[in-house]
Structure 1
Amino acid sequence: MLRLVIAFFIVPFLASPALFAQKTTRLLANWQYLQSDLGGSWEAVRPVGEGSPESVPVWQDITLPHCFNARDAVDPAGNYYRGPGWYRTQLTIQNPYRQGRTLLHFEGAGQKTDVYVYTTKVGSHVGGYDEWTIDITEAVEDFKKSDVFAKQFKGNVPIVIRCDNSRDLEMIPSGMSDFNVYGGLYRYVNLTYAPTVSLDKIFATADVDPAGQAGKLTVGGRFRKPAEQSAAAVSIRLLDPQGKTVDQTIKSLNDLTGDVSLWQTTLRKPQLWSPDSPDRYTVAIKLMTATDTTTYTEKVGFRSFEFVEKGPFKFNSKRLLLKGTHRHEDHAGVGAAMTEDMIRTEMIMMKEMGVNFIRLGHYQQSRIVLDLCDSLGILVWEEIPWCRGGLGGDLYKEQARRMLTSMIEQHFNHPAVIIWGLGNENDWPGDFPEFDKEKIRLFMRELNDLSHRLDPRRRTAIRRCDFCKDIVDVYSPSIWAGWYRGRYTEYKSVSEQEFGKVNHFLHVEWGGDSHARRHAEEPDQAVATVTTGKGVDERTGDASLHGGSTRMSKDGDWSESYIVNLIDWHLKEQETMPWLTGTAYWPFKDFSTPLRPENPVPFVNQKGVVERDFTPKESYYVFQSYWTDKPMVHIYGHSWPVRWGTAGAQKLVKVYSNCAEAELFVNGKSQGVRKRNSQDFPAAGLRWQVPFNAGSNQIRVVARQGNKTVEDEVTMQYQTEKWDKPAQLILEKIGEENGVSTLQARLVDDRGIACLDAANYISFSLAGDGRLLNNLGTSTGSRTVQAYNGRAIIRVESGAGKAVVGVQSPGLPTALLTILPLKQ
């Protein structure tokens, strides 16, 4: 019989590689959510009035993905919700496979999840960041035999899901971690129909020799329900990046248990995957049994890499400086529930900034992220969320082992991945009475061995746990030059010291916070008060805003002006460090955190180069000027509408560009041409001291690279009047679009002069129709925010009637503004 099956399918497969595919549907719509606990799943499915005169209230209609904490994570009023939440939907289930399996595939759900078909519990999962699948076949078939299937649910199958992100010391990540431990179905949920026997996982290894002359592909598989079928056949094709078949095989299988070897083949001079040319091959597998035929595809990339001992990083045998950043799964208005379009936008913005490397902190992330890293050419360090707090007991350690195994197996085929991260800041105690370094070392060694067993080709790494740095392959110490300690000018010397302490050094996490739209005429003024020569790392307490040594994180102005200087210095120094493997700036985007309620935007870590809604800060363009080739130019200060100083004073104008030269014009007059020199700090020599007129000033730059030119321009007001302390608030409408009004609150002194260095907290409120667009965790989307240069912005969505918006600041009179409804 098996020979007949093989013979029947060989010819069609070679002619048409996509005959059938495992059928998967994203379950996006027709969901309801309840933020509280229930007595059990029955309360989610019982008819109204069944056993009670009232039904459970406040179910909300929602779409997936959905996060408990889409808004409250950055609500300045208090802590975010941590507890249970319930979801329910009804599915029409019609499996096209004879005796097929019906599966629910979760791409991630936080943090503990129970799944029910009607009132039958079909499975549970612990851990908010790995993928998992539950087979609901039997439960669905049993439910279809019940009376309520036809009567109450009209032929649909009720699915009920309980998620819970309550604090649990025996779970990772720790609540001490500097990010929100979100709850909900915040990644996609899929309904999958599979044949009786299907491929659960495919493991494809694409190796290439250092010279790039010979490639070897090894393909293995793991089957779902192998005991129900003793024999099958696979037909496998390898397609090059242009879609041409370069090799193929067909193989009969008599044992489907365990991890099964499917194919091994060699290629001469394969097209290599790299950040500049992310070329991928396709492995197309056709699984044939006596009853079903299913096709699967996986993308692979041939590449080699090496962390040279006491030296740089090599990729495909050439030195490559890793130019990296970090990512949290977090966004304004949705929390962790980022859609595929949002994720794509974010990753493309990173690539356009010049990124070729990313550390996914501090947990496994969506398969969509990994796919985009593959297609865009961004190398990956991915890690499990063993982050801070210490080391728990058996349940804690078992979860860490399980998540590490899941991460490696689920993302094994991605050519972008080069490092598996085992932990972060594991030297930070707090969750348990005992903090035993030797026990942490023992478990770290266990995870390191497990990683190498599962995947001997990739490296292991941790960040900031000095007493474990000898265990892993690659180590990153904590170096926060110019922020948590020290001055940014110490960055190179401290990095050289740390480089000498380990065999393989990679610096992840550096930078500092910047309050978007806040600027300073003298941003480095506080640097003179910072002690040098005593380390530039992050220590317990130094991340707070109180006490401890003088440091820019506590005593600086948190301006964009300071951070662009810090970043500029780091990037220009990196060009003079031939031994450096690379670095990763922390992070790409601002993100929410429960540990920073006193920040200028409450509960937001503001170290990103873009805001939580993708709005670029000025620092984004500093990176572009160093890391990209496409000609670009940017005048510093697009979000700095008013500068200040004395009449006739020379003011510094900085331009960030990757072009060879630039010419600046102020109010139509050329200020001369400057040549770019990356070692001429700041702004690589593209800076001018120019006179400003009182009032409006037009600034334009023309940059040239060969025969190409790019331009940028900005208008800045120049204020020469000196101000006293803030005495009053002025609230005004400065724009309107599509029913949304933009309001600005300004702090002025008792003469009405704008206080351009004021950083008072400002709070907005609304009475009447309409709503504030707040709880977004951005400089213009928080109802409580520190002023940036004496101002703060909020947006208001108009309602059917009028509304009154109020603005307050401690010690100042409240200001009010009436917003009228739009004309119908």
Structure 2
Amino acid sequence: MKRIIVLPVILFVFTIFSSNAQQSQRLNNDWEFLKSDLGGVWEAVRPVVAGSSESVPLWTKINLPHSFNAEDAVDPDVNYYQGAGWYRKNLKIENPYNNGRTILHFEGAGQKTAVYVYNTKVAEHVGGYDEWTVDITDAVADFKKDSAFTKRFAGKIPIAIRTDNTRDLEMMPSDLSDFNVYGGIYRYLNLVYTPSLSFDKVFALAEVDAAGKLGSLKIFSRFYNPKNINNAKVNIKVTDPNGKIISESGKQFSDLKLQEEIAQIQVKKPILWSPNAPNLYLVEVTVEQNGEKATHNENVGFRNFEFVKKGPFMLNGKRLLLRGTHRHEDHAGVAAAMTEEMIRTEMQMMKDMGVNFIRLGHYQQSRIVLNLCDSLGILVWEEIPWCRGGLGGEVYKEQGKRMLTNMIEQHYNHPSVIIWGLGNENDWPNDFSTFDKNEIRAYMSELNDLSHKLDITRKTAIRRCDFCKDIVDVYSPSIWAGWYRGIYTEYKEISKKEFDTVDRFLHVEWGGDSHAGRHSESPDDALSKVKKAGNGDERAGDASLYGGGARVSKDGDWSESYICNLIDWHLKEQETMPWLSGTAYWPFKDFSTPVRPENPVPYMNQKGVVERDFTKKEAYYVFQSYWTNNLMAHIYGHSWPVRWGNTGETRMVKVYSNADEAELFVNGKSQGVKKRNSQDFPAAGLRWMVKYKEGTNTIKVIAKRGKETVIDEITQQYQTDKWGKPAKLVLQKTVDADGKITIEAKLLDANNVLCLDARDYVEFGLTGDGELIDNQGTSSGSRKVQLYNGRAVISLFTNGGKSVATVKSVGIPTAFINL
């Protein structure tokens, strides 16, 4: 059977988002998976062909999307698996078109993929983040020629797919990157039927002047035409955001070329796209030949943007401060294999936090993400995975150029995209024996030129590679004031120094780690050890928890209390920096990483403002108080059950709110009304020094803006007993419902006083019928975890039986509880 060559481009029309969606289906269910390599593809199909029930090795049933690193990426006791994984499924092929094409459309699979029809390899793809397609039409026809095969497989077509994330220095991204290089079919895989002539891509360039008065829409199509059909008719329809058809036209072709310009449309006073009003036009293109039609839809938006030289960012002629964050494709229990529902939840949470900008780090992400950025109104910096490690050989370089080409072509029409990122931390050596700055500069220039050739409308950017900052349009230095270097009050000063060194400045990546549930009565203590840096750059070794100079990342308490102060300071300063284009906090959500095994949650980067399972940390509400319009108020400490201090000592209560004023009540007694002032740090002036009573305290805030009112309330214990050396662990059941139990471990001294500053590692275990819910990469879903204020929790499924749970820590007797 002849080999089928995969096209180096994606067929956008073949997705569920097109108007002829009935000809595309997600292949989610009834797959079998093997976390291992095979001797060859024959082993995947042998059981059916041989008519034997014996199958060696054992396959498991799974659904897509799927990553074979769903749990081991955050297993504290192992290195995550990097190797081959096989998937197989027998497909029922029913193409409704005469001489139609049957396509497998991969939205993303990692990191090298081979596709087989029966035992014939029909395509290979290198790269874990761009989309690609496989035309299996001819291979299916060849398979069907053998009636014996067809009978054995009950008329279905055996498909086998090998994915491989084995370490490979000549691939992007580097395994030194601060994120897992996952394996598996972790984005959706679609079965697509098309006529013999269809669309490969439609490029729709929507442009408008800064005044918003005159828009133009240029539409080009690239056809998928394996039979070299010459005669066809193309129809174009454009609908505005209100559902009004503003243009309809048709064009007859008698000598159809691979790529054709099919329309140029003038749009007077277009309805503009912006974060506050993400208005989208619908472009519908249909190609018809021999009575068969293929239809392709694209959403576009009219917007004009500018990074002002030595100035801020402008959108549609007005300054817009980019209020951003970052995203990795990573989630508790599934790793990169996030469902559409999960992605939608995450993006909506970002929007609800006030985000209007996102950097997608550090690779091309799912089309679902880009579609949501368009519809929610979130501007985008998207980049290729040239991340750390230096620069490889020709194969490596070609992969980078191919990834850049695919990313730009596949996401060209999204109005949300304003920046194509060319790399991240490319000054980070170690993958190769040589590190040549001139070679890196030369390659960066190649990528920059290629980006501008493919798309003249967007800007190029990189982060943290000072010797290349003159090459790209927009540059982001590394500024981690108050975490890896210096103190956070230096932030504005450092940023202005960096701003003055480039034409166009945008600060992406700032923040710090916080262990969810850990709080502090004196969060800024570590700053007394740290010298002013004069710059906030992260240097070699700064991420280490050992050695080097004093820095908060090493010497701080990793409390939510400290990070809220750091974020609060940054946000209030950003309101007084008129030259600033914007920033992006790193990241939105905690994510897994192989380079941080000794963090409080092992193998987790814990800089997110939400945990890996979407549980909000306190920092989420700090952003909301600065960035959102809907009235909100949040008393700091919802996840802080026990505060401590001396009898009669005052303690600060902070409220994060966008209200004009707020009144605080402690145990029913008013503590007075405070006015909000963003420059009154901390908490924009909404803070009170109050006396807690020993035991239970109720704290309530009533926040007002005009006639609007919002209320928040929490209950906290206040402990005045002083604790000594940790002496024992105790376990108790806190929740028991619907077959799920939550247990809490506490570390006490010899007098049974809770050790509220304890940060020891504890490790949970379970014997019996139950099953621990661990390897989630969260503070409450990890069997090995550092304590937060002397406590830690984990949950388990009872499975209808009995179990014994344990918790242990070095030097402390193990505790048991019968469940």
Q: TM-score range by the shorter chain?
A: over 0.9
Name the residue aligned to 2:319: 319
Code of the residue aligned with 1:428 in structure 2: it is W
Q: How does 1:330-341 map to 2 (within 5 A)?
A: 330-341=330-341
Counterpart residue number, 2:91: 91
Q: Which segment drifts farther, 794-803 or 550-559?
A: 794-803
Separation in structure 1 between the aligned mates of residue 803 and residue 218 of structure 2, nearest angstrom: 66
Distance 1:19 1:330 in 2: 30
Name 1:157's counterpart in structure 2: 157
Q: Which amino acid aligns with 2:100?
A: G
**Between 222-231 and 396-405, the greater mean CA deviation after superposition:** 222-231
1:219-368 aligned within 5 A: 219-225=219-225, 228-368=228-368
Equivalent positions of 1:316-465 (< 5 A) are 316-465=316-465
SS at match of 2:785: strand
In structure 2, C-alpha distance between the alignment counterparts of 1:497 and 1:805, rounded to whole Å:
55
Shift of 1:20: 5.2
Secondary structure at the aligned position of 2:44 is classed as helix
Query: Is the CA contact 1:758–1:790 (under 8 Å) kept in the aligned structure 2?
Result: yes
Alpha-carbon spacing, 1:21–1:749, altered in 2? closer, same or farther (3 Å): closer
The CA distance in 1 between the partners of 2:385 and 2:738, in whole Å, is 42
How big is each residue's C-alpha offset from its partner over 1:791-812, in whole Å with a ceiling of 9 and x where there is no partner? 0000011023211111000000
Structure 2 residue identity aligned to 1:243? G
For residues 467-487 of structure 1, give each alpha carbon's deviation from its aligned partner in whole angstroms, at most 9, with x where no partner exists.
000000000000000000000
SS of the residue corresponding to residue 429 of structure 1 reads coil
Match of 1:387, SS?
coil
Q: 1:784 to 1:365 in 2, by over 3 A?
A: same
8 Å contact kept, 2:695–2:717: yes
Q: Residue 532 of structure 1 corresponds to which residue in structure 2?
A: 532
Q: Which amino acid aligns with 2:209?
A: D
Structure 2 vs 1, CA of residues 120 and 609 (structure 1 numbering), >3 Å: closer, same or farther?
A: same
CA distance in structure 2 between the aligned counterparts of 1:52 and 1:169, rounded to whole angstroms:
41
Q: Does the C-alpha gap of structure 1 residues 425 and 148 become closer, same or farther in structure 2, counting only changes over 3 Å?
A: farther
Which letter does structure 1 place at the counterpart of 2:651? Answer: K
Distance across 2 between alignment mates of 1:302 and 1:338: 30
Q: After superposition, what is the alpha-carbon deviation per residue over 1:646-699, rounded to whole angstroms, capped at 9, x for unaligned?
A: 001111000000000000000000000000000000000000000100000000
Q: Secondary structure at the match of 2:246?
A: strand
CA distance in 1, matches of 2:145, 2:516: 59
Query: How much has 1:54 moved relative to structure 2?
Result: 4.3
> Which stretch shifts more, 525-534 or 304-313?
525-534
Q: Is the CA contact (8 Å cut-off) linking 1:22 and 1:296 kept in structure 2? A: no
How big is the shift at 1:21? 5.8
Shift, 1:22, TM fit = 7.1
Letter in 1 for 2:229: Q
Assess, with a 3 A threshold, how the Cα gap between structure 1 residues 249 and 656 changes in structure 2: closer, same or farther. Answer: same
Aligned position for 1:69: 69
Q: Deviations over 1:520-570 (max 9, x none)?
A: 000001101101034211011111111111000000000000000000000
Aligned equivalents of 2:553 and 2:52: distance in 1? 56
Residue 610 (str. 1) matches residue 610 (str. 2): yes
Counterpart-to-counterpart distance in 2, 1:654 and 1:148? 74
* Alignment match, 1:731: 731
Quote how far apart the aligned CAs of 1:19 are.
8.7
Count of residue pairs the alignment pairs up: 802
What is the Cα deviation at residue 716 of structure 1? 0.2
- Contact between 2:19 and 2:296, CA under 8 Å: does it hold in 1? no
State the one-letter code of the partner of 2:175. Answer: G
Judge conservation of contact 1:481–1:488 (CA < 8 Å) in 2. yes
**Please, what TM-score do these two structures have when normalized by structure 1?**
0.96
Match in the other structure for 2:114: 114
Residue 757 of structure 1 deviates from its aligned partner by: 0.4
Query: Which segments of structure 1 move beyond 6 Å, counting only runs of 4 or more?
Result: none
Q: 2 CA distance for matches of 1:609 and 1:103?
A: 40
What residue is the counterpart of 1:6 in the other structure? none
Contact 1:728 1:747 in 2 (8 A): yes
CA distance in 1, matches of 2:501, 2:792: 46
Give the distance between the partners of 1:727 and 1:748, measured in 2 at CA.
6
Shift of 1:255: 3.5
Deviations 1:545-602 (A, max 9, x none): 1111100000000000000000000000000000000000000000000000000000
Q: Is the contact made by 1:739 and 1:798 (CA closer than 8 Å) also made in structure 2?
A: yes
Does the Cα contact within 8 Å between 1:176 and 1:388 map onto a contact in 2?
yes
Q: Which residue in 1 is equivalent to 2:5?
A: none
User: Greater shift after overlay, 539-548 or 382-391?
Assistant: 539-548
2:191 is paired with a residue whose SS is strand
Contact 2:701–2:713 (8 Å) recurs in 1: yes
1:210 is matched with which residue?
210
Q: Which residue of structure 2 lines up, in the alignment, with residue 15 of structure 1? A: none
Q: Is the 8 A contact 2:739 2:800 kept in 1?
A: no
State the alpha-carbon separation in 1 of the partners of residues 255 and 419 from structure 2.
33
Say yes or no: does 1:657 pair with 2:661: no
Deviation at 1:53, TM superposition (A): 9.6
Aligned to 2:7: none
- Which amino acid in structure 2 is aligned with residue 690 of structure 1? V
Match for 1:718: what amino acid? Y
Amino acid at match of 2:636: Y
Tell me, in whole angstroms, the C-alpha distance in 2 between the residues paired with 1:36 and 1:227: 39
Alignment of 1:640-651 (within 5 A): 640-651=640-651
Are 1:794 and 2:791 matched, yes or no?
no
Instruction: Note if contact 2:700-2:713 (Cα within 8 Å) is conserved in structure 1.
Output: yes
* 1:118-145 alpha-carbon deviations (Å, 9 max, x no partner): 1011100000000000000000011112
Q: Is the 8 A contact 1:226 1:257 kept in 2?
A: no
* Aligned partner of residue 565 in structure 1, secondary structure: helix
- Aligned partner of 2:579 in structure 1 is 579
Distance 2:38 2:745 in 1: 44
1:687 matched to 2:687: yes
Aligned residues of 1:515 and 1:779 also touching (Cα < 8 A): yes
Unmatched 5+ stretches in structure 2: 1-17
1:474 aligns with 2:463: no
3-state SS of 2:480 partner: coil
Distance 2:459 2:20 in 1: 37
What is the CA deviation profile of residues 87-131 of structure 1, one whole-angstrom value per residue up to 9, with x for unaligned ones?
A: 000110010010000000000000000000110111000000000
Q: Which residue of 1 aligns with 2:672?
A: 672
- 1:58: Cα distance to partner? 2.2
Q: Please name the residue that 1:11 is paired with.
A: none
Contact in 1 for aligned 2:27/2:191 (Cα 8 Å): yes
Q: For residue 372 of structure 1, what is the amino acid of its counterpart?
A: L
Q: CA RMSD in A?
A: 1.2
Measured in 2, the distance between the counterparts of 1:502 and 1:145 equals 64
| Bigger mean CA offset, 226-235 vs 731-740 | 226-235
Deviation at 1:150, TM superposition (A): 3.0
Whether the aligned pair in 2 keeps the contact of 1:21 and 1:295 (CA below 8 Å) is no
Bigger shift: residues 533-542 or 657-666 = 533-542
Q: What TM-score does the superposition give when structure 2 sets the normalisation length?
A: 0.97
**1:143 lines up with 2:151 in the alignment:** no
Q: 1:386 to 1:255 in 2, by over 3 A?
A: farther
- 1:9 maps to what in 2? none
| 2:812 match: secondary structure | coil
2:520 partner letter: A
Residue 554 of structure 1 corresponds to 554
Distance in 1 between residues matched to 2:661 and 2:286, nearest whole Å? 56
Q: Does 1:80 align with 2:58?
A: no
Residues 450-481 of structure 1: CA deviation (Å, up to 9, x unaligned):
00000000000000000000000000000000
Matches of 1:110 and 1:256, distance apart in 2: 36
Provide the residue aligned with 2:715 in structure 1.
Answer: 715
Rounded to whole Å, the distance in 2 between the matches of 1:355 and 1:69 is 30
1:761 & 1:637 partners in 2: Cα distance? 23
Preserved contact between residue 494 and residue 534 of structure 2 (Cα < 8 Å)? no
The SS at the match of 1:653 is strand
Percent pairwise identity: 66
Does the CA contact (< 8 Å) of 2:564 and 2:619 recur in 1?
yes
Check whether the contact 2:333–2:775 (CA below 8 A) recurs between aligned residues: yes
Q: Which amino acid aligns with 1:465?
A: C
Deviation at 1:262, TM superposition (A): 0.8
